[in-house]
Every structure is written in structure tokens, then in C-alpha cells.
Amino acid sequence: MFEQRFHFMHQNSFFHILISLIAGIYFGFIAAIIACLLTETSLGEFIDNIKSPEILSSIIISLETSIAVVILALIFGIPVAYLLATRRFTGRIILDTLIDLPIISPPLVCGLAILIAFGGHGLFSHFDVIFTIKGIIIAQLFVASPFLIRSARIAFESIDQDILTAARTLGASEFYTFRKVSLPLARNGIISGIIMTWARALGEFGATAMVAGCIPYKTETMTIGIYMHALSGNLDASVALSLLLIVSAFATLIVFKYLGRYNDPIK
């Protein structure tokens, strides 16, 4: 079952048995929880639930907003990531920390901050975003875009400096080098950033709920739907939405890992 990397790692050693055991417990725990969700419903029930207008609407809202978030995150995130990866300037550490902040802070706190900024007497109060789709997008972007920026930055930073230098000595401007060398070489990191950002946006709950509320057919995303249906006793609808999220996440990750392994330009 285990393919050994080095011949001196003995499979019958105490240590090997120990780590296998711990890993077994860990994966068993996760698999059991997912299995519980899977066995909670039948395929027929699942399809019936998904076809209900409110759930369909929440799926559409989730897809629309998360895709918008990915596009916006790309437009802002790629230049930011490139800037942080290639420039050394004072205050860089502050910017870097600012990007990590939404990853670390509770989404509720992010949501509250957005609510204050855009609501009542906030700095951006003349933008009408509270309880709207725009509010969902802003909340998701705030929480999810750092994943793309981090991933892209690491990808840009890991490009061999000599390759970029070579491009410059070959007569390429920095912009040309960015388009023709940096971007293609950072491709895998950017794609993985897109997937993480998209998944995070799709799964966003706390900040979205704070900013956009839970209005069916208007601001009810899939995750908010799961929460609302569970609260109102319609557990079947929650289960159906949860299954849809988990299965699509699993499928996306598998596809990405497969692509990443066989499409790596360096290998």
C-alpha cells in the first residue's frame, strides 16, 4: 500500500506503524463525517430539493457572485502579487500583513468592518451595497482575494531570477517579460490561487451574512441557504446544498491536482 521513498524507511518499524495509525484515525474521522452527510439523503430526494426555486436561486446567486469575485480578484490581485514579489520598498511588510489579515481574522469581523464602511455614516455610505448582490461580492472579495494574491506572489517569487534577467538582456521590456515569461511560469500558482479564492468565496458565510443579510431570492447564497433551512427545520434542503458544495469542491480539487501534475511546464 505504501510506496517507500527511501530504502532505509522500514515499513515494520514502530514509528511507521505509529504514523500510519495516526493518519488512519485522522482520515477515518473526516471520511465518517462526510459519509454521514452522504447517507442522510437519497439521490431522488437530493434532486427534488435542488430543483426547488429557492435553492436554485441561491445556487445561481452563489455562482454569479463567486465568479465575479474571481474576476475582480484577478484584476487587482495579479498586479498586487507581482508588485510584492518583485519590488522592495518601505512599508512592504505592512502591505503583506494587510493581505494576510482577512485570512486570519474571523469573517464576522470582516463583515462588520464592511458594514460600518458602507452603511449609515461610513466612508462609502453613498454606495448602495448593504443587503444587495454587490454587498455579497464585496464581502466575498474582502475575505477570499488574499488567497489568490498569496498564491500568485509565491509563484512569481519562485521564478528563477536569471530567467527574468535573460529576458531583459534579450530586449524585452518589463511588461513584455511579465506577459511572456512571468505569467506563463506562474500559471500553476495562479490557477491554484483562483481555485482557492473561488472555493473560499463560494463557502463564505459570516461576512456575507453581516453585509447582505439573508433575503431569499435576493441575497441568499448557498451557504446562507444551508444555515436558513437548517434553522427553519428543512434539514433536507440544507443537506442537498451541502452535498452539492462538497462534491463540487472535491471534483475541482481532483481535476486541479491532476492538471498540476501532468501539465507542469517545468517538469
Spatial separation of the C-alpha atoms in residues 28 and 117, rounded to whole Å: 44
Binding status of residue 90 toward other proteins by CB under 8 A = no
Query: Using CB under 8 A, which of 47, 163, 231, 251 touches other proteins?
Result: 163
What is the rounded CA–CA span in Å between residue 183 and residue 253? 22
Do residues 140 and 204 make contact, with C-beta atoms less than 8 angstroms apart? yes
Q: Of 24, 28, 184, 260, which lies in the binding site for other proteins, with binding defined by CB under 8 A?
A: 184
The reply on whether position 261 binds other proteins by CB under 8 A is: no
Cα angle, residue 105 at apex, residues 150 and 189 outer, rounded to 5°: 15
Residue with cell 455562482: 63
From 12-20, 23-31, 99-107, 170-178, span contacting other proteins (CB under 8 A): 170-178
Name which position in 53, 91, 233, 265 contacts other proteins (CB under 8 A). Answer: 265
CA atoms of 167 and 232, how far apart (whole Å):
61
Tell me: does residue 262 bind other proteins (CB under 8 A).
Answer: no
With a CB cutoff of 8 Å and minimum separation 6, the contacts of 100 are 146, 150
Q: How far is CA 150 from CA 44, 107, 146, 186, 234, in A?
A: 41, 18, 6, 12, 38
Among 143, 185, 210, 222, binds other proteins (CB under 8 A): 185
At which residue does the C-alpha cell 452539492 appear? 244
Given 169, 233, 261, 262, the residue binding other proteins (CB under 8 A): 169
Residue 240 contacts other proteins per CB under 8 A: no
Q: How many residues bind other proteins (CB under 8 A)?
A: 19
Q: Which is nearer to other proteins, 65 or 188 (CB)?
A: 188
- Cβ contact 140:69 at 8 Å: yes
Closest CB to other proteins among 49 and 177? 177
What residues have CB less than 8 Å from 71, skipping those under 6 apart? none
Toward other proteins, which CB reaches closer, 100 or 174? Answer: 174
Shortest gap between Cβ of 93 and other proteins (angstroms)?
A: 19
* Enclosing H/E stretch for 189: helix 187-203
Map residue 247 onto helix, strand or coil. Answer: helix
* Interacting residue with other proteins among 160, 215, 254, 260 (CB under 8 A): 160
Taking contact as CB under 8 A, which single stretch among the options 8-16, 30-38, 177-185, 222-230 is the one that binds other proteins?
177-185
Site residues for other proteins per CB under 8 A: 160, 162-163, 165-173, 176, 180-181, 184-185, 265-266
